[in-house]
Amino acid sequence: MHVREFEVKDFSLKHTFESAQPITFCGDYDERTNSLVYTEGVHIINVMHRQAHARGRRSRIAVASKDIGYAERHFKERFRISDNLDKIYSEIDTDKFMHESIAKYRGMRLTVNDPWETTALFIISQFNNVKRIRLIAKNIIERFGTPIRDDMDNVIAKSFPTSAEIARADRADLFACGTGFRDKYLKEAAEFCTYNIDLDSLKSKGYPEIKESLMEISGVGDKVADCIALMGYGKTEACPIDVWMKRILENVYFKGRKQNISKLHEFAERRWGRYAGYAQQYLFWSGRGSLVGRAKR
């Protein structure tokens, strides 16, 4: 196990982990020590965030892993550390509600996750809640995940199963993980992603083409495709509109009047452009907690 430390600017591990992204469903975060453990293929990556003095925008990250070079590289990519949040904030800070959302969750970043893992998780997310998505994800990792072994050949962790591993699974066993009626979607999506489409090859394509291809997958519609484009492929112009975003946009920008989804997509694109996905993440997470929601969680 090797450790490496480096400085980051405008980053909050806590807000990023908690904001219902794939890392939220598969990683393990300890609020007391402000640290995170997650797996990536055969790698186990430990992250500790040492918060700087109050209001300091610079802070330190310590990453620990067996392959420390990979871990540092991967951490910076997954948490979009090279994004200049000052610049992004200045482009999306168009109104009071957004301004307050940014102030509340400053340092929250989008994440870039494995495309298949993102696809599977957001198929599971439909008509579901964050807590249960996490429970189901953990069950699937435990039951079908790829074992990670130490030098003594002991299994010390498991990473999210590949599409081939899910494609081989019995639907009944997927159902037993708590997927409910989504078992069929997950199984069909796994088969499609193993035999009929190469998710990794889409990385070189643009947002519209990626979204169109993703929507060929069973269980992937408009909203889930945008989530995958945003959090699986890093297309920050993608703006997923779920029940919360719909309510928030209608309440904050349309005086509570109902709007259809395509209208809301147009609105977000016109207003926030290439960073509509970032705008969405701040509105979703702050609005969910305050505006409409009755402070659940």
Partner DNA sequence: ACCCAGGCGGGCG
Partner DNA sequence: CGCCCGCATGGG
Residue 296 contacts DNA per CB under 7 A:
yes
Options 43-51, 95-103, 237-245, 264-272: segment touching DNA (CB under 7 A): 237-245
CA angle 88, 254, 86 (to 5 degrees): 10
Options 15-23, 46-54, 58-66, 90-98: segment touching DNA (CB under 7 A): 15-23
Residue 52 contacts DNA per CB under 7 A:
no
Query: Going residue by residue from 168 to 187, which x/- string records binding to DNA, judged by CB under 7 A?
Result: -------x--x-xx---x--
Contact with DNA (CB under 7 A) among 13, 137, 166, 245: 245
Nearer to DNA by C-beta: 222 or 269? 222
Nearer to DNA by C-beta: 64 or 220? 220
Contact with DNA (CB under 7 A) among 34, 46, 51, 126: 126
Work out how close the CB of 123 gets to DNA at its nearest, in angstroms, rounded to a whole number. 7
Nearer to DNA by C-beta: 255 or 296? 296
Binding site for DNA (CB under 7 A): 19-21, 122, 125-133, 175, 178, 180-181, 185, 217-225, 227, 240-245, 260, 262, 280-281, 284, 288, 296
